[in-house]
Structure 1
Amino acid sequence: MKNATQLLQDYLANIQDPAAAASLFADDGILELPTIDARAQGPEAIEKFIAGLLVRVPEFRFKNIDISINTEEQAFGEYQVEAAVPSTGKTYKQTYAGRLVAKDGKIQLLREALDTLAASQAFSKD
């Protein structure tokens, strides 16, 4: 059974495969980004959310992963993305902070924070 850190690492590594990333979540698991008022619950909704992100940012991948809290049930890390946004021609450069809560080898909650100004600048056409 995977612990919280393993689940976070697997989620980050599989972000280009929405079905694989979503399968890490419990049936009632939640992916939440409160700073942009985004929330998906359950693997099907989470898969759809990630797939939608990849339509907007096809090369979206996490890098520079630093996990600073590591327990069986919780993990916290910071990780970055730097990828082109085809619709604006800009680069989406972002640092995420994520807290993951695990139970029975599945993700119960992944709550991520991000810099809303950086997101707005990358996705706006000016």
Structure 2
Amino acid sequence: MNARRLLLAYTANISDPNFISSLFAEDGAIELPYLESIGLPTRTVGPEAIREFIIGLLQVIPDLGFDTVDIMIETEDQVFGEWSVERTTAAGRLFSQTYAGRLVAENGKIKLLRESLDLVRAARAMLPNGVADIPA
């Protein structure tokens, strides 16, 4: 698959950890660089680790699914876009987020998916005490 098709497959199937992990190269990675500030991993490498990451995410947002996907820039092996979600977390909080991300494809698999998100909105939805749990 090319980068566009990989991104569309990723966003359409985010609730299926086994399928999502199959999209990644053996050394493929998901990077969410800003999560460090709320104590979460910033880089997950390899299909099995990515599968476990998605399983953990689904425990927090059980019906996770992306509502819109807008691809803004694309080549055969790279794509940049935005995708959004609005769901309720397992704790009953609203999780409303727009991600921006760059996907790099290599040999029909995801080599790198780097995403950004609004940390304040993520903390409010996912941390027990919301933004109060973000380290100073």
TM-score, normalised on structure 2?
A: 0.88
- How far, CA to CA, are the matches of 1:65 and 1:111 in structure 2? 15
SS of alignment partner, residue 28 of structure 1 = strand
Q: Which residue of 1 aligns with 2:133?
A: none
Q: Which residue of 1 aligns with 2:29?
A: 30
Q: Which residue of 2 aligns with 1:86?
A: 90
Within the candidate set 67, 72, 79, 1:68 is matched to 72
2:49 partner amino acid: A
Q: CA deviation at 1:6?
A: 0.4
Q: Is there any run of 5+ residues in structure 2 with no aligned partner, and where?
A: 37-41, 130-136
Q: Which residue of 2 aligns with 1:106?
A: 109
2:68 partner amino acid: N
- How far, CA to CA, are the matches of 2:19 and 2:81 in structure 1? 20
Larger fraction in strand: 1
Superposed CA RMSD = 1.0
Q: Is there any run of 5+ residues in structure 1 with no aligned partner, and where?
A: none
SS of alignment partner, residue 58 of structure 1 = coil
Displaced runs of 4 or more, over 6 A: none
- Deviation track 1:55-94 (CA, whole Å, cap 9, x = no partner) reads 111011111110011110100110101111122x210000
1:102 partner amino acid: A
Q: Is the 8 A contact 2:59 2:90 kept in 1?
A: no
2:67 partner amino acid: K
Identity %: 52
TM-score, normalised on structure 1?
A: 0.94
1:29 partner amino acid: G
SS of alignment partner, residue 99 of structure 1 = strand
